[in-house]
Amino acid sequence: MSLPLNSVSSNPAPLPLPPPPPSLGAFAHTLYRFTTGLRAGEVTSVRGAGDEVLLTYRSFAGVVGVIAAFLAGIVAVAGAAGVLLLVYQGAPLRALLVLTLTIAFSIVIAMLVTLYEENHPALTISQRAVFPSATYIVATPNGAHLAELRKSFVSRLGRNRWTITQDGRYLGEAHEESCGGAILRKLFGKFSRKFETNVSITYGGVDAGRIVRRPEAGHTDLLELAGEALDRRVAVALATLVLGREP
């Protein structure tokens, strides 16, 4: 027996929607505003395009960290000299032992900064080594590694270049606009922001964003992201290092 036409609903119940993707919270944005020039230990904020506070962290360059990095550099240089001397004297086994000890003492695992979102840890940046390359680990609060950020000692003398890797696999890099501009920044950037250089970020050979340090239309100290290829947490960590620590 068929049902009357008027008993069939013309508006059937909608199918249930799939659950929404997990919120990225503070890392769902494409523009981040940083505050620079703070004294070591001061609490500062990272703001969004609407000037809302997204993240907070305690500024870099604590005395302990500076001394640790300085001592590690001395150990590395002295150890390298000792290795060369022992090789010259024909003592390869002793040279290998000194090299091993030098590497061990040059590796520094020191927490640099934790970024907080509404008083909850959201991201950590820790230093793994200072020589011959400065290496930083970007991780989640539960310890999951997101990426390694490396900058060689040689790049400090000219155009700063950061390499982004994950478990030894190359992902991308960030570098200053030009070598000449980088040298001018090192010489005169402390006296005038017009000598600052911006930093381009690439991921898999594709433009992923930039870090704005030179004043543009009245704005500076920004992280601008393009696309979603690069994990935004890694990009924020990189900008935190560049704007808060890089010489």
The highest-confidence range among 17-21, 179-183, 228-232, by mean pLDDT, is 228-232
The predicted-structure confidence for 94-131, as pLDDT tens digits, reads as follows 667 766 666 555 554 455 788 999 989 999 998 877 66
**188 or 213, higher pLDDT:** 213
The predicted-structure confidence for 213-240, as pLDDT tens digits, reads as follows 888 777 789 999 997 889 999 999 999 9
| 38: number of Cβ within 10 Å | 14
**Which pLDDT score is estimated for 69?**
55
Residues recorded for the chain: 247
3-state helix, strand, coil in the chain (%, to 5): 30, 35, 35
Please say if the pLDDT value at position 78 is more than 80: no
Please say if the pLDDT value at position 174 is more than 90: yes
**Which pLDDT score is estimated for 60?**
63
Q: What does pTM read for this prediction?
A: 0.71
Q: Which helix (H) or strand (E) holds 7?
A: none
Confidence of residue 29 (pLDDT cuts 50, 70, 90): very high
* DSSP secondary structure code for residue 228 in this structure: S
Please say if the pLDDT value at position 163 is more than 90: yes
Place of tokens 């030179």: 214
Identify the CA nearest to 134 among candidates 126, 146, 123, 145. 126
Strands (E), 104-234: 107-117, 120-129, 133-139, 145-152, 161-166, 169-176, 199-203, 206-212, 222-225
Worst-scoring range by mean pLDDT, 7-11, 20-24, 166-170?
7-11
Q: Rounded distance, CA 26 to CA 91, Å?
A: 55
Q: Which helix (H) or strand (E) holds 102?
A: helix 92-106
Q: Are 52 and 237 in contact (CB under 8 A)?
A: no
